[in-house]
Amino acid sequence: MNSTKDNWSILALVRHGESEWNAKGLWTGWTDIGLSEKGRLEARKAAFLLKGINFDIAISSNLKRAIQTMEIILADLNQSNIPVYKSEEFNERNYGDFTAKNKWQMKKLLGEEEFLRVRRGWDIPIPNGETLKDVYMRVIKGYDKLIKPAIAKRKKILLSAHGNSLRALVKYIENIPDEMISQVEIATGESLVYYFNKEGKVIDKKTLSTKNVVLK
């Protein structure tokens, strides 16, 4: 990373590592499930890819799998002493009546087209749950409260959260149209690193996948 980039604000979005319910193909939502062993390894791989960034603050949702991912990353980077914030505004989508149901069984029940609409769509309701639009509204509140002021101060921020809360934030940052958001997917352990200039505009982005990372 060159000296110019060192002076930019950085926001690293990290999807938590695989959880015990991810491994079983279950919709987790607000259920507070911890990381699997694979998920812990994915968090360590994420840390490896984020080496070279000296974070000023770290933020997570208040769900265990995101907190554990953040803690593993900070420990591996020897940065556990920085300020840490936990906010429910970055929690995963509430899957309502679909919580704890197997995704692939639901795909057979709903049919592929409806399944994709429910899973990836923008304003598709789930009984007693949230749409992605609902998630977006609360995520932006968290962004305005915790992240935007830090970007204005040229801070380097780590955010550990979830597939849907991060998709919502990516939609906001990149101004992705409603009809295109279904194409955005973030793998467990994957990081999206945004670089902001002093005016708070995104001037670079990197996607860091743990897929081919082998730790020694």
Question: Which residues are part of the catalytic machinery?
Answer: 16, 92
Helix (H, G, I), strand (E, B) or coil at 116: helix
Distance, CA of 200 to CA of 31 (rounded, Å): 35
Distance from C-alpha of 211 to C-alpha of 111, rounded to nearest angstrom: 29
User: Are 35 and 65 spatial neighbours (Cβ–Cβ below 8 Å)?
Assistant: yes
What are the b/e assignments for 176-208, b being 16+ CB within 10 Å? beeeebbebebebbbbbbbbbeeeeebeeeeeb
Helical (H) or strand (E) element with 168: helix 163-174
Quote the CA–CA distance of 182 and 184 in Å, as a whole number. Answer: 6
User: Are the C-beta atoms of residues 154 and 146 closer than 8 Å to each other?
Assistant: no
**172: which 2 tokens?**
């906001």
**For residues 163 and 17, what is the distance between their CA atoms, to the nearest angstrom?**
10
